[in-house]
Structure 1
C-alpha cells in the first residue's frame, strides 16, 4: 500500500494561529492549526478536527492532507489544557459545553463572522475526548454542522507525578505503544499507569510516532505539564449538570449524517461501547478498522478511505452555498 501523506511538525501547508475566546470567562487563548486547500482545488467548506488524550492538534496529521484534497479548509485546535492552548485551573473550563462554545467561536472567527453570528455549517470530526466533544456539539448546535465523524468516544495523582519533560516524554512513549526493554508492563487499561515502572532510561521506542514527532509532542506537553489535559477526567459532575437540560427537553438524538469508525483492537474504548449508537444517531454509517486506539495513525490509509467515501457523499448532497 502506498504511503499516506502526512504533515510534519513544521509543515508549510499549515499556519499556527491563536485566538482568545471573547465569551470565555477564563480568557482562554486557543492555539490552532489552519490549512487552506490548494488554489487549484475548488473550496467545498470548512472542517474542524478535535483531538483527545494524550494527543494534540498534530494527531490529525494523516487526515489534514486528505481533507485539503477534498477542498475543505481545515481547523485543528489544541483543546483546552493541551499544547499551546491555555490550561486554566478551574475545572469548568474543561466542561464539554464550555469547549463546544469555544470551538464554535474559533470557527466563527476563521470564517470572518461577528460574535453571535451563524456560521457556515462545517464538517466536524473527533477522536477520543474529541469524540465526546463532537457528539455534544451536535446536540447543542446541530444547525452549525453538515455531518459528524467520530473515532472512539468516551481523581488521579498522575498529574503530580509526571513532572519534567523527560518523564512526560517517557509517559507519552508508553501510551503510544512503547514497552520497557525488560518487558515489564508500564500501562494497561485495567490497572492504569505503574509510575514506579515508568523509568525514563528503560522505555523502548514507540511503533506509532517517529523521533521528530515524539520530540514535538514532548516539547508541547512540557509547556503546561499534564495537569490541564487530565482535568478532562474530573468534569463528570459538571458535564452532567450542564447537559441535563438536553435530555429533559428531549434533545438527545442526532439526525445529522454521522460516521463512526470503530477500532477493533481498542482496549480503552472497545467496539462494544458503540453497539447501540443507532438508537441515538438516526443517520448513522458505521465502519471498522483493524487497529488499536491510535487508528488515525496506525490504520491511516483505511481510516482515510472511510472518511473520503463518507465525505464525498456529504459534500455532494450538501454543496457549499455561495456567500452573499
Structure 2
C-alpha cells in the first residue's frame, strides 16, 4: 500500500514559515492536526543533500498521531540563511539555533528526530541542551561518542576509506564546478542514485562525485521529476557552498566539544540502522549501547535513503516507538 506523503508543491497540510533566531533566518515546514491541538512538538532535522521536505513520508504519519511537526531547512539549505563563515555551521552553534527556534515556537520541550547530518546534529543537540529534548530518534547515523583527541579528516579516511568522499566535499572543488541549476540537478541525481545509460554510478564513497560522468546521468527513482525540480530550485537559492560547509567543521566541533567529553545521552532513544548503507555499515553502531544507555536499536534493509526507500517500514518503527515509549500510559487528552 502506498505511503501518504506531503507533496512538494501546493500541499495545504504544511506551511512554509520562517523565523530569525540568533541573527540567522531559518525556513521551516510546519504541520499540525487540523484541530490545532497536539500532543507534543517534534522537530525533524535533515542531512545532505536533503531539505526539510526530506521528511515528506513521515510528516503525515506524525500529524495523524497528534504531533505538531517542525522540519527546518538546516543552515546553508533552502530557505535558511547560508553564511560563509564555517564556524557558524558548528554543531554547538546549530544546536543553539534549534533550541532558539523551539523557544520561538513556544516550546521548552520537544521530541527530536534526525537523518544523516541531521542525526549527527540531533545527538549534539541532546548533549548541549539535554533539558530541551524529551525523546530522540535517529536514522542511519549511529552515535559514536565524543573524542578526546582531534583526528583530521585526512587521518580519518586512512582508517575509514568509506568516508573518502568527504575529502572532496570539504575541499572546495565542487563549488568551482557546481554552479548552474542544471549542474545542481545533476549533483542531486548522482547522490540519489542516478546512473549513466550504461549503468554506471555518478558517485562512489571512495571517490566522491565523478566529475567526468555526473552530467550524463539519467533520472533516479527516489525523487520524482517534480521533487527533483523542487530540490534543484531550493538548492539554487544559495548554491552548494553552505551545505558543503558541514563537511568543514571537524576542528570547530572538536574545540567546542572539549568541555562535554564524557557526557552521555540519557533520554529515551531509538536508532534505526540502514543495513546496506555504504557509508555507515552496521558495525559502526556497536558502541551505541555504551554511549546511550537503554537505546532501542532497529534496522531496515535499505541503503542510505531509508526515509524514501522503505517509508512504510521506517514509519512503522517510529510510530511503534512513539506509542510504546513516548506516549506509553499517557492519555491523549492529557498531553
In the superposition, the TM-score normalised over structure 2's length comes to: 0.88
CA offsets 1:93-129 (integer angstroms, 9 cap, x no match):
1000000110111111112xxxxxxx43211000000
Residue of structure 1 aligned with 2:222, choices 191, 197, 208: 208
Is 2:241 the partner of 1:230?
Answer: no
**Which residue number in structure 2 is paired with residue 65 of structure 1?**
60
Mapping for residues 131-170 of structure 1, pairs under 5 Å: 131-153=119-141, 155-156=170-171, 157-170=173-186
Q: Bigger shift: 75-84 or 177-186? A: 177-186
Is residue 27 of structure 2 the alignment partner of residue 31 of structure 1?
yes
Aligned residue in 2 for 1:75: 70
Partner of 2:315: 304
The change in CA–CA distance for 1:242 and 1:318 in structure 2 (over 3 A counts) is farther
2:257 is the counterpart of 1:243: yes
Give the conservation status (yes or no) of the 8 Å contact 2:190–2:209: no
Cα deviation digits, residues 240-295 of structure 1 (max 9, x gap): 00011001xx42x1111100000011102222221110001112100000111000
Give the count of matched residue pairs: 305
Number of the residue aligned with 1:116: none
Name which of structure 1's ranges 178-187 and 78-87 shifts more when overlaid on structure 2: 178-187
CA contact (8 A) 1:51 1:127 kept: yes
The secondary structure found in structure 2 opposite 1:224 is coil
2:18 is aligned to 18
CA distance in 2, matches of 1:278, 1:84: 36
**Is the 2:14–2:30 contact (alpha carbons within 8 Å) kept by the matching residues of 1?**
yes
| Structure 1: distance between partners of 2:304 and 2:265 | 24
Which residue number corresponds to residue 101 of structure 2?
Answer: 106
Give the whole-Å Cα distance in 1 for the aligned partners of 2:109 and 2:129. Answer: 10
TM-score by length of 1: 0.90
Moved more, 165-174 or 154-163: 154-163
Taking only aligned residues, the RMSD between alpha carbons, in angstroms, comes to: 1.7
Instruction: State the Cα distance separating 1:321 from its structure 2 match.
Output: 10
Q: Which runs of 5+ in 1 are unaligned?
A: 112-118
1:202-225 deviation digits (Å, cap 9, x = unpaired): 211111111110100000001111
The 2-side partners of 1:266 and 1:212 are apart by 26
Aligned match for 1:269, one of 270, 274, 280: 280
